[in-house]
């Protein structure tokens, strides 16, 4: 336990799924209104820090320009970041950018048991990839362990903190409930010098885990349980990923976070709604330290906003860790994971994620948004930017019987239908082609305009062909389709459109095409609220990953890792950054062209 709160059970979970968030100008959220008011009132202009008498403690390297706003993104390095964190990152870094301020990246690393360097590295990579820069302002809460300790002694000396020696169980009982006030611990009135001595012995490693804690002395009868003498230090004989064995007592989140904000001169400390009930404690700690002369006013202020919840994904770190550790997915960056690393491998662009953050805006009330809003942002971004290519995902051979054997020619296909400036490319044509299996049938349903015996279609960018029949294997499966082409119908030549046909299909020259592994990813969960009605693992969509061997345009053989393309009629794909090798690309489907889940929720 890191001592952080979990979501309140009464938080509304339903929201309005499927409703597309309106595009809001990014300037209109309530947090901006607070910042505007603070700037207008000159709240920070009065600060004279850096060179002048300033707060008693400012972390070395903390920004010295007082008039600017300062935000921070404070991840705990106990997992990979996910799309919910992306919302917070875009918000914090976006505000700093828009107001000419600074946003810090601070690792909130106070729990040695669950934190690892791998997570630190992945977080740094994810924030950078999203396009944000903290400059020199990379901090770790563990850098403040000395100061946090000194401040704890200050609280003790002022009679506002005491060493409690109740067992964890007794302490829970003494704390009371929402309906029952707490009771004061028998150790609450220990004299300051006794507390100080005990606290120093705790630090010196004289006591085993769980025997004593340091608590603030606030109010055991408060209606706000967070104010009932919160624990601020506990004994934990565990090595920390940065401080090693230097400490065997570690500060808790609520105590650490507000002080870290103050030490870094954060002006607006933006966090999710479940911390609302912790704000009085945040303010209490900082106000007392300012009273002691250890910090200078104006102090940072905490502002809460609604966390992001999305349908068809889980965003709880605990569940994400379970998916990875139990092997239900292929690691933290599995393209089906809602992690930033997973989104990246899936084919998301940083621009699409930032667009998403902007579209959904910032609210004061929790709700669950439909994942299709996120997917639509990717389509909107890639539709503009991704070049078009041809891929046949379920190949069936088409033989043009009246086309000369051994002959070949070039067809030209535009790289982007709306952007002639992106040019055209050559697609080779020959007697034997690959077409999609679904583009041929022997018995066409009504409205089927593709290949069936007697029908003509246009081979996109090529010729009009008329189907003459098909070949089957012993089991009756169609193994090749036959047709004849009309030489005067080549796309782009005069008179090519004289022959009118209703259908157009894509194709590739069989001898030129390149076979490649393509992964067709779909949503990881098959229900909008995974885990709400049964174990979350039972809600996994068994068809969320399908691996096929597709035929691709020859030029795709040299696709660069992370190159994103639209495969015509199929969706947007990305060359996998991990598994693609030179000349042997592997593609992941990022998203289909249309929302194939619409109406299923
Ligand atoms: P935990 O604290 O349980 O380990 P967490 O998801 O809160 O998990 P943190 O590393 O503490 O993870 O989060 C870093 C920041 O990201 C916090 O400021 C937190 O409020 C914010 N954040 C986390 N999840 C979301 C979300 N779903 N939507 C918006 N912001 C989020
Ligand atoms: Mg958290």
Q: Are strands 249-251 and 231-235 parallel, antiparallel or unpaired?
A: antiparallel
How many A from CA of 487 to the centre of ligand 2? 66
The pLDDT tens digits for 243-269 are: 999 999 999 999 999 999 999 999 999
How many A from CA of 382 to the centre of ligand 1? 28
CA distance 571 to 113: 43
User: At residue 500, does pLDDT exceed 50?
Assistant: yes
Is pLDDT larger for residue 100 or for residue 2?
Answer: 100
User: Which listed residue (72, 76, 389, 431) is catalytic?
Assistant: 76
User: At residue 163, does pLDDT exceed 90?
Assistant: yes
| Portion of the chain with pLDDT greater than 90, in percent | 85
Question: What confidence category does residue 436 fall into, taking pLDDT thresholds of 50, 70 and 90?
Answer: very high
Instruction: For ligand 1, atom 14, name the residue with the nearest CA.
Output: 75
Question: What confidence category does residue 28 fall into, taking pLDDT thresholds of 50, 70 and 90?
Answer: low
With contact defined as beta carbons under 8 Å apart, do 110 and 149 qualify? Answer: no
| Residue 319 a catalytic site member | no
| Residue 307 a catalytic site member | yes
62-71, 484-493, 543-552: which range is least confident on average?
A: 62-71
Is pLDDT larger for residue 119 or for residue 597?
Answer: 119
CA distance 248 to 286: 25
The whole-model pTM stands at 0.91
pLDDT of residue 6: 37
User: Which ligand has the shortest distance to the CA of 73?
Assistant: 1
Determine the atom of ligand 1 nearest the C-alpha atom of 76. Answer: 10
Determine the atom of ligand 1 nearest the C-alpha atom of 77. Answer: 10
Instruction: Tell me the best of 71, 76, 94, 365 to mutate to test the pocket of ligand 1, counting ligand atoms within 8 Å of each CB and taking the most.
Output: 76
Instruction: For ligand 1, atom 23, name the residue with the nearest CA.
Output: 85
Q: What number of helices (H) and strands (E) belong to the chain?
A: 12, 27
User: Which ligand has the shortest distance to the CA of 6?
Assistant: 1
Average pLDDT of 27-49? 80
The pLDDT tens digits for 355-392 are: 999 999 999 998 899 999 999 999 999 999 999 999 99
CA distance 541 to 545: 9
With contact defined as beta carbons under 8 Å apart, do 259 and 288 qualify? Answer: no
Determine the atom of ligand 1 nearest the C-alpha atom of 89. Answer: 16
* Contact residues of ligand 1, CB 6 A cut-off: 4, 74-76, 78, 84-85, 87-88, 271-272, 307-308, 315, 317
- Most distant CA pair in the chain: distance in Å? 102
CA distance 562 to 565: 10
Domains of the chain plus CATH, in order, are 1-164+253-305 (3.40.50.620), 165-252 (3.90.800.10), 310-385+518-601 (2.40.240.10), 389-512 (2.40.240.10)
User: Which listed residue (236, 317, 388, 460) is catalytic?
Assistant: 317
Average pLDDT of 439-447? 96
| Residue 76 a catalytic site member | yes
Q: How many CB atoms lie within 10 A of CB 204?
A: 10
**Nearest of 420, 358, 410 to residue 387 by alpha carbon:** 420
pLDDT of residue 47: 63
Instruction: For ligand 1, atom 21, name the residue with the nearest CA.
Output: 85
Average pLDDT of 5-27? 38
Written in H, E and C, the secondary structure of 531-564 is CCCCCHHHHECCCCEEEEEEEECHHHHHCCCCCE
pLDDT of residue 599: 61
């Amino acid at each position: 336990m890191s001592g952080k709160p979990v979501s309140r059970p009464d938080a509304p979970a339903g929201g309005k799924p499927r409703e597309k968030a309106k595009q809001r100008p990014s300037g209109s959220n309530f947090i901006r209104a607070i910042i505007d008011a603070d700037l207008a009132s000159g709240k920070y202009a009065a600060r004279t820090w850096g060179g002048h008498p300033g707060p008693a403690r400012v972390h070395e390297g903390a920004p010295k320009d007082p008039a600017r706003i300062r935000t921070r993104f404070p991840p705990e390095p106990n997992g990979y970041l996910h799309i919910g964190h992306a919302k917070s990152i875009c918000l914090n870094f976006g505000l700093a950018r828009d107001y000419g301020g600074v946003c810090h990246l601070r690792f909130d690393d106070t729990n040695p048991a669950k934190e690892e360097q791998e997570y630190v590295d992945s977080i740094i990579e994810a924030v950078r990839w999203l396009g944000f820069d903290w400059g020199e302002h990379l901090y770790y809460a563990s850098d403040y362990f000395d100061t946090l300790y000194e401040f704890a002694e200050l609280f003790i000396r002022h009679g506002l903190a005491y060493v409690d020696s109740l067992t964890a169980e007794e302490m829970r009982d003494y704390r009371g409930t929402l309906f029952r006030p707490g009771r004061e611990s028998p150790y609450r009135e220990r004299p300051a010098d006794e507390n100080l001595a005990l606290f120093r012995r705790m630090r010196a490693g004289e006591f085993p885990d769980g025997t004593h804690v340091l608590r603030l002395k606030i109010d055991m009868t408060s209606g706000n349980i967070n104010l009932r003498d919160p624990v601020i230090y506990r004994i934990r004989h565990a090595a920390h990923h940065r401080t090693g064995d230097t400490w065997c007592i570690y500060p808790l989140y609520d105590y650490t976070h507000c002080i870290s904000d103050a030490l870094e001169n954060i002006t607006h400390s933006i966090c999710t709604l479940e911390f609302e009930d912790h704000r009085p404690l945040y303010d209490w700690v900082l106000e007392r330290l300012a009273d002691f002369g250890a910090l200078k006013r104006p102090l940072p202020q905490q502002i809460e906003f609604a966390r992001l919840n999305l349908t068809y994904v889980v965003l709880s770190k605990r569940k994400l860790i379970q998916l990875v550790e139990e092997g239900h997915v292929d690691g933290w960056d599995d393209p089906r994971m809602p992690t930033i690393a997973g989104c990246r491998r899936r084919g998301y662009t940083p621009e699409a994620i930032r667009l998403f953050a902007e579209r959904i805006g910032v609210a004061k009330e929790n709700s669950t948004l439909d994942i299709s809003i996120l997917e639509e942002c990717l389509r909107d971004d890639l539709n503009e930017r991704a070049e078009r290519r041809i891929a046949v995902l379920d190949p069936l051979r088409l033989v043009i019987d009246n086309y000369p054997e051994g002959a070949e020619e070039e067809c030209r296909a535009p790289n982007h239908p709306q952007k002639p400036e992106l040019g055209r490319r050559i697609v080779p044509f020959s007697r034997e082609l690959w077409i999609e299996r679904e583009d041929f049938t022997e018995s066409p349903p009504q409205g089927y305009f593709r290949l069936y015996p007697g029908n003509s279609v246009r081979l996109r960018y090529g010729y009009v062909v008329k189907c003459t029949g098909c070949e089957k294997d012993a089991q009756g499966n169609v193994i090749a389709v036959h047709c004849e082409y009309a030489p005067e119908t080549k796309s782009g030549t005069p008179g090519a459109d004289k022959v009118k046909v209703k259908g157009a299909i894509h194709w590739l020259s069989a001898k030129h095409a390149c076979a490649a592994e393509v992964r067709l990813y779909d949503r990881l969960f098959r229900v909008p609220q995974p885990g709400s009605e049964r174990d979350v693992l039972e809600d996994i969509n068994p068809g969320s990953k399908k691996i096929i061997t597709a035929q691709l345009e020859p030029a795709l053989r040299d696709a660069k890792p992370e190159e994103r393309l639209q495969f015509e009629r199929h969706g947007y794909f990305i060359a996998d950054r991990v598994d693609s090798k030179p000349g042997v690309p592997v593609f992941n489907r990022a998203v289909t062209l249309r929302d194939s889940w619409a109406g299923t929720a």
